[in-house]
Amino acid sequence: MAVAAASMPSAPTETAAWLAWVEAARGGDRAAFGRLHRQFGRVVHGLLLARVDPSSADDLTQDVFISAWQRLHELREARAWPGWLSAIARRRALDHRRQLVRRPGTLPPELEDDQARHAEHALARSDAERMLTIIRALPEAYVEPLLLRLVEGMSGPEIAEHCDLSPGYVRVNLHRGMKLLRERLEQER
Amino acid sequence: MSQPDPLFDMDGPADAELARLERELGRLRWHARELPREALVALPSRARVDDTELSPRPSSSGASRRTWRVPERALPWLVGLAAAAAVLVVAFVTRPTPPEPERVPAPLIQPAGSPPAPDLRDPFAGPREADAPTQTPALRDPFTPRQIAKTPTAPTHSDLVNPFESDRSASWPASSTRPVEEPQGLVDPFTRNHNAAARPDLRDPFAERSESSANATSPAADMPGSRSPDLVDPFSRPH
């Protein structure tokens, strides 16, 4: 019981913390923005990982935070920071995919068809990338919560808070996505 | 007490499958990196800009004066507005001048209020009753014969015959009272016929010519000079 209580996220305190950091960052406090970067870096990375390859996700995460820093004056309310940052990350991933499509002769892994996907499975550098590919093939509503939970190690309440989602929505999609993922993994074996 | 949910709450013992997924996928986890400092140098933060803009600035006179600055987002709109206004001004200045309206000529007819000068006469106006006696016969209007005929007292030139007079002369029952002897032998044919019937003692000067010209085939035969015997009518038929 004590372990469970200690592991429970202290949501009000954390929320008050990042709200104060956002306010401070809007006032030009780069240190506060650095704390936001460390706090929300996992969320941005997980959202990008649902759409781009892992090698590009790290660089794009930095780009997202730089873009957020430069456009911080557009943020009306500090409480809207999680949703606003998530929107920037999703848009940045789409832009990255469009840029790859425009380049002749290149095709990002997330855009390859099923046959190429099977080939990618064969050439997977690790089991992690193979599992990542399987998760991406799931319905879109399950991908983000599963990646944030399994890759970034975030709990359900943290995902809900940092992505501006309801806990019930995250819980349902986590369980449904996990069930579907088990079935796909069973089929792979 | 609710059941522990290792998937959602990360509470309680996780099954083997979930633990394996966490372990394998955890290798792709994000590792915090410092943001490049050069990217965070320029901060277009509205909060700081607003603070600096709204803060009172000391002026030379010591009184605080609020300065108005154009917002950056409105700058393109203002530039476009100024450009449109400039285009409109240029178009207005360089617009083609409309042609001057044709000047309406002054009316030649004087208004009825002012009487015309006595020495000015409207050449297109018809002969008036008062002007008829004073009209020169040589300037007689040939298109208004009946009006002239209505003025019997008007003096007519002796050698001028009104060709339209015949209509009226034929309808005159008392035409015998008119002078039969026309000067120079020019007699109204209708009057001549009438006189020939009424007064046999009067000889028709044209009767002989009419008989002789009955055989003539050319109008030249009626000419006075065609009576010469040494002249041959080129249009006459060969007998």
Any idea which of A84-88, B65-69, B141-145 has the lowest mean pLDDT?
Answer: B65-69
Which comes out higher in pLDDT, residue A92 or B109? A92
Q: In the predicted model, what is the mean pLDDT of residues B133-155?
A: 56
Per-residue pLDDT, A92:
94
Per-residue pLDDT, A9:
40
pLDDT tier at B194, thresholds 50, 70, 90: confident
Q: d(Cα A100, Cα A115) in Å, to the nearest integer?
A: 20
Contact A181 B21 (CB under 8 A): yes
Per-residue pLDDT, A187:
87
Q: d(Cα B150, Cα B40) in Å, to the nearest integer?
A: 117
Per-residue pLDDT, B123:
76
Contact A174 B7 (CB under 8 A): yes
Is the CB of residue B114 less than 8 Å from the CB of residue B107?
no
Residue B65's DSSP bridge partners are: B57
Task: Quote the distance between the C-alpha of residue A74 and its chain's center.
Answer: 22
Q: Which residue, A113, A112, A172, is CA-closest to A141?
A: A172
pTM of the entire predicted model: 0.49
Per-residue pLDDT, B218:
52
Per-residue pLDDT, B210:
53
Could you give the ipTM of this predicted complex? 0.74
Closest residue of chain B to A131, computed from CA coordinates = B25
Across the 189 residues of chain A, what is the mean pLDDT of every consecutive 10-residue run?
A: 36 71 89 91 93 90 92 89 93 90 59 54 67 91 93 92 90 94 87
Cα angle A46, A154, B6; round to 5: 130
Quick check: B34 pLDDT over 50?
A: yes
Per-residue pLDDT, B137:
55
Quick check: B92 pLDDT over 80?
A: yes
Q: In the predicted model, what is the mean pLDDT of residues B35-50?
A: 60
Query: Is the minimum CB–CB distance between A150 and chain B shorter than 8 Å?
Result: yes
A96 vs A88, B124, B176, CA distance in Å?
A: 12, 95, 127
Per-residue pLDDT, B224:
55
Query: Is the minimum CB–CB distance between A170 and chain B shorter than 8 Å?
Result: yes
Q: In the predicted model, what is the mean pLDDT of residues B167-174?
A: 52
Quick check: B80 pLDDT over 90?
A: yes
Per-residue pLDDT, B73:
78
Closest residue of chain A to B73, computed from CA coordinates = A74
Per-residue pLDDT, A7:
36
Q: In A, which residues are within 8 Å of B7 by CB distance? A: 149, 156, 174-175, 178
Highest mean pLDDT range out of A107-116, A170-179, B18-27, B149-158?
A170-179
Angle, helices A127-136 vs A114-122, to 10°: value is 160
Tokens of B82: 């100024």
Q: In A, which residues are within 8 Å of B52 by CB distance? A: none
The 8-class DSSP code of residue B91 comes to H
Q: d(Cα A68, Cα A92) in Å, to the nearest integer?
A: 11
Per-residue pLDDT, B59:
41
Quick check: B139 pLDDT over 90?
A: no
Per-residue pLDDT, B228:
60
Q: In B, which residues are within 8 Å of A46 by CB distance? A: 30
Which comes out higher in pLDDT, residue B191 or A159? A159
Q: In the predicted model, what is the mean pLDDT of residues B46-71?
A: 46
Highest mean pLDDT range out of A184-188, B32-36, B115-119?
A184-188
B65 backbone dihedrals φ, ψ, rounded to 5°: -130, 130
